[in-house]
């Protein structure tokens, strides 16, 4: 099969990733072999490709927003049919036995492994997934629209849960890419007033079209104090900005993966009155199932730009340069 391989992690302009021939993987016990029909391009793929995340598997195939179909089941798999649509996401496996897993926080499992980092992912014609970590997908939504929900959507959902937004509350979103534009749709559908702070005319236009109550530049203050905020842009400088925008008792949840350093905070202006900062670490399978159900109920859909699988390097470069709004999705070459 054709697949992308991160052979020399480094800047995307220096060809760190190559389109190569790899054998079609064989599903191990309790695994599914999946034919990839669409794979979203996530910023984490860029971090794996550029070496911001340490190499966990040499020559890894990135990609963890996979919509595909089951073509083969390994030994011991139950409940999946050949031809059935399946989703493969970031969380590949956890031990299920540690104290974090035992209390329902499998996203914190020290033994967790990740798709497209520890194991080969979806920038390929085929991939594998443990059946227990595969998602059933709602009917009536096409493959390309669904793909970005599997990481961008699920992470945005977890960030929203972590932000403890009160019902009908005011939510600020800093940055408005793949994850934020899905999170905004869910929050608005659930009755929140959403204020978006982002640079870039296209992202601002998208925010308006999705029903944001206000749209401002990244470092501008929203027109009202916020009950909760989420930083999606991986920019530590935005943290004090967002903390100043919070109302008393407000919560900031930091969803941007691998953000730059956070500057010193001023206690009076940026933390006092019981404001809180919370990080967001991956997600549990429960988060994923909850989000996919809500997404189907509210018709949450990603704004997508498709690239043929053979142009994944271009998609990553365009993501880095901010050349599209919404989310890029790889589809099999015609």
Contacts with Zn ion by CB under 5 A lie at: 42, 44, 94-95, 98, 101, 109, 151
The CA distance from 326 to 318, in Å, is 12
Give the other-Cβ count within 10 Å of 79's Cβ: 10
Name the residue nearer to Zn ion (CB basis): 53 or 98: 98
Name the residue nearer to Zn ion (CB basis): 86 or 226: 86
Question: Is residue 14 exposed (0-12), middle (13-18) or buried (19+ Cβ within 10 Å)?
Answer: exposed
Nearest distance from residue 105's CB to Zn ion, in Å?
A: 8
Nearest distance from residue 241's CB to Zn ion, in Å?
A: 24
Q: If you compute the radius of gyration of the chain from its CA atoms, what whole number of angstroms results?
A: 19
Q: What are phi and psi of 210, to 5 degrees?
A: -90, -5
First vs last Cα of the chain: how many Å apart? Answer: 15
- Among residues 109, 77, 69, 75, which one has the least CA distance to residue 90? 109
Name the residue nearer to Zn ion (CB basis): 68 or 222: 68
Name the residue nearer to Zn ion (CB basis): 101 or 226: 101
Name the residue nearer to Zn ion (CB basis): 94 or 127: 94
Nearest distance from residue 131's CB to Zn ion, in Å?
A: 18
Tell me whether strands 85-88 and 66-73 are parallel, antiparallel or unpaired. Answer: antiparallel
Nearest distance from residue 147's CB to Zn ion, in Å?
A: 11
The CA distance from 66 to 123, in Å, is 9
- Among residues 331, 329, 152, 327, which one has the least CA distance to residue 257? 152
Cβ proximity of 222 and 174 under 8 Å: no
Nearest distance from residue 120's CB to Zn ion, in Å?
A: 15
Nearest distance from residue 247's CB to Zn ion, in Å?
A: 30
Name the residue nearer to Zn ion (CB basis): 24 or 98: 98
């Amino acid at each position: 099969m054709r697949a992308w391989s991160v052979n020399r992690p480094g800047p995307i302009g220096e060809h760190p990733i190559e389109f190569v021939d790899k054998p079609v993987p064989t599903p191990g016990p309790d695994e599914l072999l999946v034919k990839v029909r669409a794979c979203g391009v996530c910023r984490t793929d860029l971090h794996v490709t550029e070496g911001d995340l340490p190499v966990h598997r040499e020559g890894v195939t990135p990609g963890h927003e996979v919509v595909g179909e089951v073509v083969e089941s390994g030994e011991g798999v139950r409940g999946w049919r050949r031809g059935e649509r399946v989703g493969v996401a970031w969380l590949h496996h956890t031990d299920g036995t540690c104290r974090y897993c035992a209390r329902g926080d499998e996203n914190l499992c020290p033994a967790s492994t990740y798709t497209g980092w520890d194991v080969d992912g979806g920038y390929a014609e085929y991939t594998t997934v443990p059946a227990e970590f595969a998602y059933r997908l709602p009917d009536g939504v096409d493959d390309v629209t669904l793909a970005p929900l599997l990481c961008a959507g699920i992470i945005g959902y977890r960030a929203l849960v972590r932000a403890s937004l009160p019902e009908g509350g005011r939510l600020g979103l800093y940055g408005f890419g793949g994850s934020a534009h899905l999170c905004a749709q869910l929050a608005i559908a659930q009755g929140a007033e959403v204020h978006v702070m982002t640079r870039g005319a296209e992202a601002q236009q998208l925010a308006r079209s999705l029903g944001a109550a206000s749209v401002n530049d990244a470092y501008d203050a929203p027109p009202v104090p916020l009950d909760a905020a989420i930083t999606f842009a991986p920019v530590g400088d935005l943290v004090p900005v967002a903390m100043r925008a919070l109302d008393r008792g407000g919560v900031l949840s930091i969803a941007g993966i691998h953000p730059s350093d956070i500057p010193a905070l001023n206690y009076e202006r940026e933390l006092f009155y019981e404001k809180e900062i919370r990080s967001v670490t991956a997600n549990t399978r429960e988060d994923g199932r909850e989000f996919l159900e809500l997404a189907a109920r509210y018709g949450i859909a990603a704004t997508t730009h498709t690239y043929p699988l053979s142009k994944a390097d271009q998609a990553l470069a365009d993501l880095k340069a901010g050349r599209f709004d919404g989310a890029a999705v790889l589809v099999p070459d015609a």
